[in-house]
Amino acid sequence: MGLNLADKKAVVAKVSEQLKDAQTIALAEYRGVEVGDLTRLRKKAREAGVYLHVLKNTLVRRAVADTVFADLADQMSGPLIYGISADPVAAAKVLCDFAKGNEKLVIRGASYAGKVLDKAGAQALASIPSREELLAKLLGVMQAPASSFAGALAALAKQRETAAA
């Protein structure tokens, strides 16, 4: 049974709300993917903070109209699952990581910062480390000089102890 007009407006409003803070939309064709696999995909998406839903393409086209994602409307055909995230790489990463283990999920493309990406572009976006990973690496780089300095002081103190003995 199809959606009535009020339900359609509610879906467009919900998607529009998600798009306000979104930096990325990723699209994948899910034809043939089993329900259990989609359930696992949705769980991973929730953990990553990604809004992941199977939506009617016409409703998503209406939601993205007049946004930076409007150019992505050309790729919206067929049975698609949409990943929307405020994190620049999370939506693409969730879908691309899942597609590696399930050949039935086919990445169609993505849009990041107003630029439409093809399948290869979406996979490249997914390969970028997440914000948390980058912050952890930065912290490690920032701590390295301090820990090296502490190690040098400890070695100097030990050297003086052996010289005094």
Boundaries of domain holding 151: 130-165
Give the number of domains in the chain: 2
Residue 63 belongs to domain with CATH number: 3.30.70.1730
Model confidence over 93-152: pLDDT tens digits? 999 999 998 889 999 999 998 899 999 998 988 888 877 777 887 787 777 777 777 777
The answer to whether 81 touches 39, Cβ cutoff 8 Å, is no
Q: Rounded to two decimals, what is the model's pTM? A: 0.76
Both 124 and 134 in one domain: the answer is no
Angle, in degrees to the nearest 10, between helices 119-127 and 90-101: 110
Q: Which of 4, 22, 33, 30 is nearest to 72 (CA)?
A: 22
Q: What is the CA radius of gyration of the chain?
A: 23
Both 102 and 147 in one domain: the answer is no
